[in-house]
Structure formats: C-alpha cells, structure tokens
Amino acid sequence: MAKNQCIAGIYLDEKYKVRRRPEVEHEQAVAIYDLLEDNHFEPAGGFEGPYSVHMRIEENRIYMDVRGDDDSENLTTIPVPLSPFRRIVKDYFMICESYYDAIKKASASQIETIDMARRGLHNEGSEQLRELLAEKVTVDENTARRLFTLICVLHIRG
C-alpha cells in the first residue's frame, strides 16, 4: 500500500449540526483522530494522495468529496446510498443507547454482552460499507470502521 494513499483531513457537513450526547461527540472525535492517525484510502482513478475528504448527506446518499490535501481541487465525489444502512444504523443507535445506559448501572458482564452486540453491528456496517465502496475506493478494515462511525454521526439530525 502506498504511504500517500490516505486521508489527511476529514470534514463533516455542518448543515445538520445538532447537539449530541457527549458519548456520541466522543465517538466522533475518537473516530476522526484514529482515522487521521492510520488509514488507507485509495480512490479509483489513479489520484495522488494524501486526501482531504468532506462528507455530507444529500438525497438519501452520503457523498464523499475527495480533494487533494491542500483542500482546493475536488478530485472526485464518491456517492454511497444510505438505504442499505438504514436497518444497521437504527439497530446500532438502539444498542448504543442501551450501552450508554448500562455503563451507569449494569454489571460488568451485562455491559460486556451489550458491547459485543454493539461491536458486531459496527463490524456488519463497516463491512457493508467496504462492499459498497469496492469499485470506487479501496479502504482497509479500520478505515471502513471509522468511516462507518462518521456515517452514523451524520445520520443524527436532531
């Protein structure tokens, strides 16, 4: 894998900026931090990275505007339909709510069980994302996981 085939900057559309639970804000911050620390992102078309990626939701799709790392020229836009994620994201939000509540009052084994279910849904969503991106951009497993987290955050519109 080429070292420069990576995301150097990631930006979420602020059009739908809403106040979120502190736990969600934390997950978003961790996903962005981890993504920028280590990722593989190689869009089809032979572009030279690193890249700046701007994510937005329009008309039931996520659009990833891929720009050079100087953030000026849009190299390509990668559309991803949201409908395949509808069930996973809904289930993921429900299990996350249970997890956040469990942390406050449940036993360690109950928290672990909920967390395993949460991670399972997250893995399912990130694998589905990799499949939908397969012909448009090559991403590794961890990059797909972090991008899926950001897609979930963009779903929250208040």
Beta bridge partners of 12: 55
Q: What is the pLDDT of residue 74?
A: 92
Q: What does the alpha-carbon distance between residue 144 and residue 19 come to, in Å, rounded to a whole number?
A: 25
Q: Is residue 62 within a helix (H) or strand (E), and if so which, with residue range?
A: strand 61-68
Residue type, 20: R
Q: What is the pLDDT of residue 59?
A: 86
Q: What is the pLDDT of residue 19?
A: 62
DSSP string, 5-52: SSEEEEEE--TT-----HHHHHHHHHHHHHHHHS--EEETT---S-EE
Q: What is the pLDDT of residue 158?
A: 40
The model carries a pTM of 0.87
Q: What does the alpha-carbon distance between residue 27 and residue 121 come to, in Å, rounded to a whole number?
A: 15
Instruction: Give the pair of three-digit tokens for residue 74.
Output: 């849009």
Q: What is the pLDDT of residue 26?
A: 83
Residue partners of 124: CB distance under 8 A and separation at least 6: 88
Q: How confident is the prediction along the chain (158 residues), in pLDDT tens digits per residue?
A: 567 899 999 998 876 555 667 777 788 888 999 999 999 999 999 898 899 999 998 888 999 999 997 877 899 999 999 899 888 888 888 888 888 888 888 888 888 888 899 889 999 999 999 999 999 999 999 999 999 999 888 876 54
Q: What does the alpha-carbon distance between residue 78 and residue 136 come to, in Å, rounded to a whole number?
A: 7
Q: Contact at 8 Å (CB) between 137 and 41?
A: yes
Give the residue among 126, 158, 135 at the shortest CA–CA distance from 39.
Answer: 126
